[in-house]
Amino acid sequence: KAQVHPHFLFNTRNNIYSFSLQASPKTPAMVLKLSSLLGYMLYDCKADEVLLEKEIDVMKAYIELEKERYANRIDISLNIEGDIKDQFIAPLLLLPFLENAFKHGTSEQLEKPWLSMDLVVQGHTLRCKIANSKNEVVPVSPGGIGINNVKKRLAFLYAGKHELKLADEGAFFVVSLVIELVNYKSAAVVMQQAPAL
């Protein structure tokens, strides 16, 4: 987590910096969104797990920051289905994939760049698919700092309980992640009801 935080902040700060160079009146709102992201990382992310709802809210805020930066030059689709309440996930686990999608999906060489994110929760299974258009002749290296850190965290935190697939399809790149989540409220109730040994 200590490596993920500064990496994410560096990229987000650069987004706002480039926007401020244009002296845009939207810059204060972007700074406010960054402040909410900072609050999340400084306080919420101290825990080993956070509410999935909160993680999704942060991802939405990040998408809004990127929307402001790229205006109408990118088509963004966000779809969330299922019951996301009372579900917990390791913080900042999905954000690096979203960052990567923006990084490789907003190439000026593309006529109509696009990005889509589909997140579905069924029971305690989270399925997340993030796809983005890319320059077909430029391969995407799946070995960046952010992605490598997420792979390590997944292997450590969700050993045997996740499946990650990264695919460069030429004209687009796809990340598919399945995680078995734990409903900690239910787990806490079960522990309280268990007979003492």
pLDDT value, residue 82: 95
Q: Do the beta carbons of residue 126 and residue 179 sit within 8 Å?
A: yes
Per-residue DSSP letter, 160: T
pLDDT digits (tens, 9 = 90+) for 158-178: 999 999 999 989 888 999 999
CB within 8 Å of 23: residues ≥ 6 apart: none
pLDDT lower than 70: segments of the chain: 1-8, 105-110, 141-143, 183-197
CB count in 10 Å sphere of residue 150: 23
Residue 92 — φ and ψ, nearest 5°? 55, 35
pLDDT value, residue 12: 72
